[in-house]
Structure 1
């Protein structure tokens, strides 16, 4: 009798989930996959759906305060800066999805690898007069953390307000002792969606993957580098970590600050008074750019749409550096279509990643790339962690988002989209230099004849690509 009741309850729960899937407009293939899981995996199917399957775009975890974006710009903000017709579609897309307009009073510096990046970060932090906002997915104990604490102690004594926001899962190893030392020196600290049993199912799968620093609303940083000593000392298994970061001076920093403030409110339930923050413009118009945020509760997957649009509009080349290229159908189609149309599409990735399962999943797509004429380069000297996309000497994307479902659909991410030929050419030269040091996979026939055991492992790992 009890077993019958449990079966009936399980079926009712399953039917409720089916109705939810239909109401939320999920793709038929995804609906069928979840139906299969729910009705063939007792208990586990429902738990997996609650953990991984719910549509946050319909059931919002948090609504961005759009006034943070619009308070300094008119509704038609995209028309206040003149950019080329080539870039107009991308800029309009970003503005309509995120309300971040193109800004042009910006001075940009591309920073490569940890040592150069942290030297620039420490210099900016030392210059702080009003506030420091620091937000990271991974914040680990070590040399860098101690250096930051040393600077924070000194700046707090100078009446600088400091807020530190870290992700509850990405920074899980950050010690309580270090956090207590931060609070003891009057640094405000908040944890984004902490790992708690009561909220385990609702929050575990939705992480804040952003890496943002804002100093006095004047200097900002964004990119792939976390607070980890791997960027100084390397990794015992992967070697040196390579990455790309961007230093921004100018009005685009205001949008990085707005992102931090909304995330801070979600994590701490404390509102930050934005009245004292004034946009710091450079003296002359230098580099047009936009900040594009994306998160699981936005109406549109903004960064995915930007990646998709850049590749679809490409005329000459698309160069991508990314450690985790696990494309969904739309991204894979756009890469293949561009390559088959004669666009020079190149992927630069590490020869191995920091997670073996992900490594096999990434490799499972190589054959699809090569068959379409996409050039694949595997970087052998350490771990390449940059998230960069370059197109036609016209557009550069530098940020936090990988080309996988986790970044494009589930994480809170942020990229900088830059419309500047000089910066694009500089980064293209660097990209091609890295390609020259890499192993090129250029023969589809040879690669397709790899051992069947490799294909089997890759195919198995590929089944998990929606959650990796």
Structure 2
């Protein structure tokens, strides 16, 4: 017993010192890890060993830096000109666009158009039609790509395109799309000439757990056709019924179909993932210049991930929230934010902005659901309105500001998206597009129930304690 106690103390000292000397941890995260080490003897150390370090390894970091250094030279003509941001973006929102550009160099470009897809069926129909109409290339990247109807439709369209001579490149995340990667459909795509890549592969899961983290994933959803059309939103290549978790269905997603110069930026983001995954040079990816529509709007791509600057995404959210003057509406399936975002939301409500949050009532992660609800009381007290969606799992990640600004893409408002996942989004300024997204958010609200402060105050002490415990360990979820 004495040996066990001594060993436990040595483990606590060793891992505790490691946690204390890390400069990349915020105090709440550091505290959460120390609590786990203390309350879960030995097991806590194993958890930290497997999940404590947010690092893909030196070779991955070096490869990322090399690819992006070349990207900024090779794709300079498509990154946008910071000098013209002031001419494109309203003064109230320039700080947000400038901050977004600081993350990976994509500045606002003019002349874009966007069309909001009606539902999953229209998204699938339009996307397949675009692939079937491709004449030069098709590029796709999905976190979850299933062998259901939607996933198979996309795969078959790529096969048809490859067979008629179109260059097709497809990336799938090694964990989220593991069933497809092992399937006959994946082999059929390869046999037809579709060039395939596995982002963050799990060839040796044990080695991955020892040297990195198995949950560092590529969560992006990118589709680019002929360099002239791109889709951006929350939808994976999967049916709304999401048969891997059918009890929470339907998955309710949102997608925009873009044309204009912002397509080239999404192409560059795909190119960076392709180069890092396959080792090929960036210049194998064509980036044809796209004409700017004189009546179009300014937009820019934002990509984030564990190899980018830490804290970039929550800081962008805080900057966007601070720019709101009248109305801010946000939908997200997973809400486990850092203090930066929570305080920004409360500050916006205190200064009179109409702040509305929409979360799913039934979440596929009970841990995330509990942690999310721990924030309800302070948000409601500040004047934030909270609604819980009852029409399935609301998976749409949307942020609209003052009926003018929209942020849409793959990023959830949680620490996993902030710190662990590769994400992609498009930030735009356009009243028409934002009004369309706002109308969709209003549809979500119709299928939601509003949570009152009185209801939250009426929760049992046990429920409130459980939510707060989950929030306490939120930084390590």
* 1:419 to partner: Cα distance: 0.7
Equivalence map 1:64-463=2 (5 Å) = 64-69=67-72, 71-73=75-77, 77-81=81-85, 82=87, 83-174=89-180, 175-195=182-202, 196-201=205-210, 202-230=212-240, 236-274=246-284, 276-441=286-451, 443-463=452-472
Q: Which moved more, 1:199-208 or 1:219-228?
A: 199-208
Q: 1:322 to 1:245 in 2, by over 3 A?
A: same
* 1:346 to partner: Cα distance: 0.2
**Unmatched tracts of structure 2, length 5 or more:** none
Distance (whole Å) between structure 2 residues aligned to residue 412 and residue 154 of structure 1: 29
Superposition RMSD in Å: 2.7
State whether residues 113 and 231 of structure 1, in contact with CA within 8 Å, keep that contact through their aligned partners in structure 2: no
Q: Which moved more, 1:201-210 or 1:42-51?
A: 42-51
Q: 1:393 to 1:11 in 2, by over 3 A?
A: closer
Distance (whole Å) between structure 1 residues aligned to residue 390 and residue 335 of structure 2: 17
Deviation readout 1:356-387 (Å, 9 max, x if unpaired):
33222222222222121111111212221100
SS at match of 2:288: coil
Q: 1:233 to 1:54 in 2, by over 3 A?
A: closer
* TM-score normalised by structure 2 residue count: 0.89
* 1:85 to partner: Cα distance: 0.9
Q: Which moved more, 1:280-289 or 1:203-212?
A: 280-289
State whether residues 51 and 205 of structure 1, in contact with CA within 8 Å, keep that contact through their aligned partners in structure 2: no
Distance (whole Å) between structure 1 residues aligned to residue 27 and residue 4 of structure 2: 31
Alignment size in residue pairs: 465
* 1:106 to partner: Cα distance: 1.5
Q: Which moved more, 1:104-113 or 1:377-386?
A: 104-113
The answer to whether 1:50 aligns with 2:49 is: yes
Deviation readout 1:21-71 (Å, 9 max, x if unpaired):
525343344334434444664443333223322244996733351442453
Deviation readout 1:301-341 (Å, 9 max, x if unpaired):
33322211111121111100111112211111111111111
Q: 1:14 to 1:167 in 2, by over 3 A?
A: same
State whether residues 336 and 371 of structure 2, in contact with CA within 8 Å, keep that contact through their aligned partners in structure 1: yes
Distance (whole Å) between structure 1 residues aligned to residue 38 and residue 282 of structure 2: 47
Q: Which moved more, 1:87-96 or 1:394-403?
A: 87-96
Q: 1:130 to 1:429 in 2, by over 3 A?
A: same
Deviation readout 1:160-187 (Å, 9 max, x if unpaired):
1111111111112324322211211121
State whether residues 58 and 297 of structure 1, in contact with CA within 8 Å, keep that contact through their aligned partners in structure 2: no
* 1:283 to partner: Cα distance: 4.6
Q: 1:126 to 1:356 in 2, by over 3 A?
A: same
Distance (whole Å) between structure 2 residues aligned to residue 76 and residue 434 of structure 1: 34
Q: 1:133 to 1:203 in 2, by over 3 A?
A: farther
Distance (whole Å) between structure 1 residues aligned to residue 116 and residue 78 of structure 2: 30
Q: Which moved more, 1:112-121 or 1:343-352?
A: 112-121
Distance (whole Å) between structure 2 residues aligned to residue 293 and residue 220 of structure 1: 15
State whether residues 38 and 45 of structure 1, in contact with CA within 8 Å, keep that contact through their aligned partners in structure 2: yes
State whether residues 224 and 399 of structure 1, in contact with CA within 8 Å, keep that contact through their aligned partners in structure 2: yes
* 1:122 to partner: Cα distance: 0.9
Deviation readout 1:386-415 (Å, 9 max, x if unpaired):
000001122100110000000111111111
State whether residues 32 and 476 of structure 2, in contact with CA within 8 Å, keep that contact through their aligned partners in structure 1: no
State whether residues 224 and 263 of structure 2, in contact with CA within 8 Å, keep that contact through their aligned partners in structure 1: yes
Q: 1:283 to 1:427 in 2, by over 3 A?
A: closer
SS at match of 2:296: coil
